[in-house]
Amino acid sequence: MEILFKDLGTVDYQKAWDYQEKLFKETLTSKLENRNHSSNTKLVHHQLIFCEHPHVYTMGKSGVQSNLLISNEQLENIGAQFYRINRGGDITYHGPGQIVGYPIFDLEIMQLGIKEYVYQLEEAIIRTLGDMYIPASRLKMATGVWLDADNASKARKICAIGVRASRFVTMHGFALNVNTNLAYFKYINPCGFIDKGVTSIEKELGVKQSMDTVKKLLLKYMREVFNADIAPF
Residue 135 neighbours by CB under 8 Å, 6+ apart? 129, 147
How far apart CA 172 and CA 132 sit, in angstroms, is: 25
How far apart CA 42 and CA 27 sit, in angstroms, is: 10
- The Cβ of residue 49 has, within 10 Å, a number of other Cβ atoms equal to 22
- The Cβ of residue 16 has, within 10 Å, a number of other Cβ atoms equal to 20
Catalytic center residues: 191
CA-CA distances (angstroms) from residue 20 to 6, 49, 86, 137, 140? 12, 8, 12, 28, 29
